[in-house]
């Protein structure tokens, strides 16, 4: 199944999927750069999860746990993560 993903990958990254359950895939963000700390091995992070039966995206709790449904993927997520952005303080609201 082809996923209609709302984001384009950031520079030096690409998206991939991994089987998670029979009807859920894990969306993974792969970094194309090499790092010394891991001896140049590939690095990746989970962006979120996608239910192939319902067509809904889910936030990750961690690499292995599916979180809440993402209601508006385009405006409440970033190309780097499907996790919920942190809430802004009153001071941050005044300056943004």
pLDDT in tens, 38-56: 888 889 999 999 999 999 9
Ranges of each domain in the chain: 13-95
Give the pLDDT mean for 20-35: 92
CA distance 33 to 44: 11
Residue 31 near residue 54 (C-beta atoms within 8 A): no
Phi (first) and psi of residue 73, to 5 degrees = -60, -45
Q: What is the pTM of this model?
A: 0.83
């Amino acid at each position: 199944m082809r996923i209609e993903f709302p984001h384009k990958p950031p520079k030096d990254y690409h998206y991939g999927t991994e089987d998670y359950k029979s009807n859920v895939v894990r969306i993974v963000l792969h970094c194309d750069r090499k790092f010394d700390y891991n001896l140049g091995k590939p690095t990746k992070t989970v962006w979120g999860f996608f239910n192939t039966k319902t067509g809904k995206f889910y936030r990750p709790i961690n690499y292995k746990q599916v979180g809440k449904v993402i209601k508006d993927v385009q405006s409440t997520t970033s190309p780097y993560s499907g996790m919920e952005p942190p809430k802004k303080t009153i001071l941050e609201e005044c300056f943004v």
